[in-house]
Amino acid sequence: MCDGRWFAPWLLAFMTGAFAQEDYSFDVEQFQKKSFEWSGYVEARPERAWLDRDSALAQLNFFDQTTTSTLDRAAGALELSALYRRGMATVQGTVHSSGTSGDQGSQGETRLYEGYLTLQPATGARLEAGKRALRWGKSYAFNPLGFVERPKDPNDPELSREGFVMLGGNFIRSFEGPLTTLSLTPLLVPTGGDLNEEFGEAGHLNPAAKLTLLYRDTDIDFLILGEGARSLRYGVDFSRNLTTNFELHGEWAHVTDAAKPVLLADGNQTIETADTTSHLLGLRYLTERDTTWIAEYYHNGAGYTEGQMRDYFTFVHDAYDAAQAGDTAPIQRATALADRYARANPMRNYLYLRVSRKEPFDILYFNTALTLIQNLDDGSRSLSPELSYTGITNLELRLRAVFLAGNRLTDFGEKQNDRRLELRARYYF
Amino acid sequence: MKCRFGEGFAVLVMALTMAASAHAIEADELLRQVDRNLAPQSYAMYRKLINIEPDGRRKEYVLFTAKKGRDRMIALFLDPPSEKGRATLRLGDNMWLYIPGVGKPIRITSLQSVVGGVFNNADIMNLDYSVEYEAEALTEEPDAYRLELKARTGAVAYDRLVMRVDREALVPTEIEAYAASGLLIKTLHFSDMKDFGDGINRPAVMETDSPLYRGYKSVMIYGSIEPREFPDEVFTLDYLPRAGELR
């Protein structure tokens, strides 16, 4: 028979031993600065899209193909970053490879997102040369002040993006008093030959600058891009905590001589040139139950009006009918303008709202979010619920759906898909 | 008689007031002494943070911290790779988070959890206790001093703290953190006294449990703490992406 008097001391000894053996070791040496460091991630992203075959953009993309009601594809990505330090110099870079395979075939590409040399002669002074991905502005979803960067995807604003080749510096001074920090970032973004081909016309130095202030607990940036491959543009942004859990931010951008291709109702094309002003006002609010609200109103001064978008979509529908009858010239004209009309948020007024809840029902490492992008001009919208889990070290899982809603001839109503479901598994190393 | 009673009462009130204020000064001095025993005012520090789930599963994070003066601090994640490069800047009550993928610092609040689990930003970016809290009462227990602390502003994560201080080493052995409603949010347990050099002799392990996360435990292990003066320009938004260079 089992005697408890023997069992109890053994149990106590076992428990004491177990606690004493708790592994709290920590080798600091392993994490001290090294001359060479590298990191990266590998990503798998299967997705299914439900096509709206009568939409303008589906007709534009598949006018010469037979389509099914759904499109499946598997996407993958590998991103590697590395840096090498020697004295005051650091060389660092990021290479991004991506590929897709699915109903529309397979494709892949590898691009250098960043690759640059930094010289830091003093803590508050830095010189940089090479390909650099800068992020200007305070907005989460939009970037009216992204004068020297590629457009942000409001559906996934945290995705890494390719930079431009530039020569620049950064000079920081700190002070006592209401002005705590003053920082200047001057840049040159030269264009010529293959260099920064996507930035604009060749043969320009494209000077730009950002002046940053931390003044009375408010972040303020003044930004400018001089005339060159792009027209002169300048702006200002700010961010401030009104209370500890309530942040307010805003952006204002003015672009001189902004040129915009416009397709007229009769099918002819014209270039509209005008000074445009964009602005944005946003907030971030954290509730006591760890729910974060991000809301932004964005006025895109360079965007298309509701009438201009209706003209374009009407033209695409007519061009599709013509293509089915054998005349593909009109749809080729519509395709040539798609990079302006079919890009993210091409119109004037948008509302972005994201509500995210960390660890609902006390499930550790589990997060939920709902993102709404509402077109305030035509009433169409995109709604994206998502679930993510980070409980396994270095593995990030995200399941996301996107539902698009809107009438015919509206922004989201004429997108290629009605809805989309994707699972993203990303492993960091 | 009336007059004498009045004078006597006034003397008694003065004596009580002086005694109370003397006690308050002692409490403040003790709190400041605890702060200096835990770390110098400006330092470089390596810490490991471990979240332990009820089934024994663990997630570990390694942080480098640079602090200057009363209220300037940077905390940089060095491990695991999924968090590497994430850096938080604190200037007084203002906090910003830099995530390498996002590419620019964004303003955050002190209550926001950076990594999930029992720890939040305030635990990782904590300033001296005497900067954030006012000592309201000091009592003595057989083996510890008991300090009752009240947040100086609403920007502090916990409204009240009850700190038990070792009578000899003058470092905390246990801290209970309460919300304004009186709800116990978490309890911090300090253990494993270690000599870090430069006269810093303090607990190397801080374990946290919370009635809000029953069965879960978070542990902070202090690997190294060294006094170090950083230039002011380090504690700026433009420097934050390069915080790794401070190591």
Report whether pLDDT(A15) > 70.
no
How far is CA B16 from each of CA A188, A224, A327, B10, B13, rounded to the nearest angstrom? 71, 65, 100, 10, 5
Question: DSSP for B3-63?
Answer: HHHHHHHHHHHHHHHHHHHHHHHHHHHHHHHHHHHH--SSEEEEEEEEEE-TTS-EEEEEE
- Nearest CA-CA partner of B187 in B178, B175, B179, B205: B175
**Mean pLDDT computed over A30-49:** 96
How high is the pLDDT of residue B3?
44
Query: How far A20 CA sits from the closest chain B CA (Å)?
Result: 11
* Helices of type H across chain B: 2-38, 121-124, 129-132
Inter-chain residue contact B79 with A364, CB threshold 8 Å: no
**Mean pLDDT computed over A130-138:** 96
Strands (E), A31-69: 36-51
Higher pLDDT, A69 or A8: A69
Q: What's the rounded Cα separation, in Å, for the pair B77 and B72?
A: 17
Inter-chain residue contact A394 with B81, CB threshold 8 Å: yes
Inter-chain residue contact B221 with A26, CB threshold 8 Å: yes
Within 8 A by CB and 6+ apart from A130, the residues are A114, A115, A116, A117, A165, A166
Report whether pLDDT(B16) > 60.
no
Q: What's the rounded Cα separation, in Å, for the pair A154 and A382?
A: 11
Q: Is A193 exposed, middle or buried (0-12, 13-18, 19+ CB in 10 A)?
A: exposed
How high is the pLDDT of residue A364?
79
Inter-chain residue contact B237 with A214, CB threshold 8 Å: yes
**Mean pLDDT computed over A95-119:** 94
Instruction: Say which of A170, A180, A245 has its CB closest to residue B109.
Output: A245
How high is the pLDDT of residue A13?
42
Neighboring chain B residues of A133 at a CB cutoff of 8 Å: 103
Q: What's the rounded Cα separation, in Å, for the pair B219 and B83?
A: 18
CA angle A173–A252–A276, rounded 5-degree value? 135
Q: Which two tokens stand for residue A255?
A: 């672009």
Within 8 A by CB and 6+ apart from B134, the residues are B28, B149, B150, B151, B152
Report whether pLDDT(A46) > 70.
yes
| Banded pLDDT at B113 (limits 50, 70, 90) | low
How high is the pLDDT of residue A21?
45
Q: What's the rounded Cα separation, in Å, for the pair A214 and A192?
A: 36
Q: Within an 8 Å CB–CB cutoff, is residue B143 touching chain A?
A: no
How far is CA A223 from each of CA A129, A168, A209, A231, B105, rounded to the nearest angstrom? 20, 14, 6, 14, 17
Higher pLDDT, B157 or A374: A374
pLDDT per residue as tens digits for the range A227-239: 999 999 999 999 9
Higher pLDDT, A360 or B234: B234
- Nearest CA-CA partner of A313 in A333, A329, A334: A334
Instruction: Say which of B51, B85, B113 has its CB closest to residue A358.
Output: B113
Instruction: Look over chain A and give the mean of its residue pLDDT values, rounded to a whole number.
Output: 92
How high is the pLDDT of residue B159?
93
Which of A174, A184, A285 is the best mutation test for B, with the most CBs of B within 10 A?
A174
Count Cβ–Cβ pairs < 8 Å, chain A vs chain B: 147
**Mean pLDDT computed over B62-87:** 94
Find out whether A397 and A425 touch, Cβ atoms under 8 Å.
yes
Q: What are phi and psi of A388, to 5 degrees?
A: -140, 150
Inter-chain residue contact A31 with B79, CB threshold 8 Å: yes
Neighboring chain A residues of B53 at a CB cutoff of 8 Å: 364
Inter-chain residue contact B82 with A396, CB threshold 8 Å: yes
Query: How far A420 CA sits from the closest chain B CA (Å)?
Result: 24
Find out whether B68 and B47 touch, Cβ atoms under 8 Å.
no
- Nearest CA-CA partner of A286 in B103, B184, B107, B178: B107
A20 to chain B: nearest residue by CA? B192
Find out whether A150 and A136 touch, Cβ atoms under 8 Å.
no
How high is the pLDDT of residue A157?
84
Inter-chain residue contact B238 with A170, CB threshold 8 Å: yes
Instruction: Provide the chain B residues 7-66 that lie in CB contact (below 8 A) with chain A.
Output: 46, 48, 50-51, 53, 57, 59-60, 62, 64
How high is the pLDDT of residue A81?
96
Query: How far B159 CA sits from the closest chain A CA (Å)?
Result: 14
**Mean pLDDT computed over B107-114:** 70
Neighboring chain B residues of A33 at a CB cutoff of 8 Å: 244-245, 247
How high is the pLDDT of residue A362?
75
Report whether pLDDT(A272) > 70.
yes
Neighboring chain A residues of B216 at a CB cutoff of 8 Å: 364
pLDDT per residue as tens digits for the range A147-162: 999 988 877 888 889 9
Which of B206, B237, B240 is the best mutation test for A, with the most CBs of A within 10 A?
B237
Query: How far A182 CA sits from the closest chain B CA (Å)?
Result: 9
Q: What's the rounded Cα separation, in Å, for the pair A146 and B186?
A: 43
Q: What's the rounded Cα separation, in Å, for the pair B37 and B176?
A: 19
Q: Is A248 exposed, middle or buried (0-12, 13-18, 19+ CB in 10 A)?
A: middle
Instruction: Say which of A172, A180, A185 has its CB closest to residue B239.
Output: A172
**Mean pLDDT computed over B40-57:** 92
Report whether pLDDT(A378) > 60.
yes
Report whether pLDDT(A209) > 90.
yes
Instruction: Say which of B85, B116, B223 has its CB closest to residue A390.
Output: B116
Q: What's the rounded Cα separation, in Å, for the pair B72 and B88?
A: 11
* Helices of type H across A129-236: none
Percent of residues, chain A, with pLDDT higher than 90: 84
pLDDT per residue as tens digits for the range A386-407: 999 998 999 999 999 999 999 9
Q: Is A169 exposed, middle or buried (0-12, 13-18, 19+ CB in 10 A)?
A: middle
pLDDT per residue as tens digits for the range A314-331: 999 999 999 999 999 999
Percent of residues, chain B, with pLDDT higher than 90: 64
Read off the pTM. 0.88
Find out whether B183 and B210 touch, Cβ atoms under 8 Å.
no
| Banded pLDDT at B110 (limits 50, 70, 90) | low
Q: What's the rounded Cα separation, in Å, for the pair B75 and B127?
A: 12
Which region holds residue A216: left if phi is over 0, alpha if psi is between -120 and 50, else beta?
Answer: left
Query: How far B41 CA sits from the closest chain A CA (Å)?
Result: 18
How high is the pLDDT of residue B11?
53
| Banded pLDDT at B153 (limits 50, 70, 90) | confident
Find out whether A234 and A210 touch, Cβ atoms under 8 Å.
no
Inter-chain residue contact B92 with A217, CB threshold 8 Å: yes
Q: Is A289 exposed, middle or buried (0-12, 13-18, 19+ CB in 10 A)?
A: exposed
No. of H helices and E strands in chain B? Answer: 3, 13
Running DSSP on this structure, what letter comes out for residue A7?
A: H
Inter-chain residue contact B60 with A393, CB threshold 8 Å: yes
Query: How far B79 CA sits from the closest chain A CA (Å)?
Result: 8
Find out whether A249 and A283 touch, Cβ atoms under 8 Å.
yes
How high is the pLDDT of residue A404?
97
How high is the pLDDT of residue A151?
87
Find out whether A259 and A269 touch, Cβ atoms under 8 Å.
no
Instruction: Provide the chain B residues 55-114 that lie in CB contact (below 8 A) with chain A.
Output: 57, 59-60, 62, 64, 78-82, 84-85, 91-94, 99, 101-104, 106-107, 109-113
Neighboring chain A residues of B120 at a CB cutoff of 8 Å: none
How far is CA A73 from each of CA A102, A220, A296, A300, A402, rounded to the nearest angstrom? 4, 43, 32, 33, 16
Report whether pLDDT(A424) > 60.
yes
Percent of residues, chain B, with pLDDT higher than 70: 86
Helix or strand holding residue A59 (H, E): helix A56-62
Helix or strand holding residue B91 (H, E): strand B87-91
No. of H helices and E strands in chain A? Answer: 5, 18
Inter-chain residue contact B80 with A31, CB threshold 8 Å: no
Inter-chain residue contact A31 with B50, CB threshold 8 Å: no
Longest CA pairwise span in chain A (Å) = 98
How high is the pLDDT of residue A61?
92
Report whether pLDDT(A303) > 60.
yes
Query: How far A427 CA sits from the closest chain B CA (Å)?
Result: 8
Which of A15, A172, A215 is the best mutation test for B, with the most CBs of B within 10 A?
A172
How high is the pLDDT of residue A199?
95
Report whether pLDDT(B29) > 60.
yes
Q: What's the rounded Cα separation, in Å, for the pair A403 and A241?
A: 33
How high is the pLDDT of residue B116?
58
Find out whether A285 and A304 touch, Cβ atoms under 8 Å.
no
Neighboring chain B residues of A185 at a CB cutoff of 8 Å: 238
Within 8 A by CB and 6+ apart from B3, the residues are none
Longest CA pairwise span in chain B (Å) = 80
Query: How far B3 CA sits from the closest chain A CA (Å)?
Result: 53
Query: Amino acid identity, residue A305?
Result: T
Report whether pLDDT(B128) > 50.
yes
Report whether pLDDT(A301) > 80.
yes
Q: What's the rounded Cα separation, in Å, for the pair B120 and A232?
A: 44
Q: Which two tokens stand for residue A226?
A: 């001089």
Inter-chain residue contact A158 with B102, CB threshold 8 Å: yes
Inter-chain residue contact A172 with B154, CB threshold 8 Å: no
Inter-chain residue contact B80 with A140, CB threshold 8 Å: no
How high is the pLDDT of residue A327?
94
Find out whether A48 and A421 touch, Cβ atoms under 8 Å.
yes
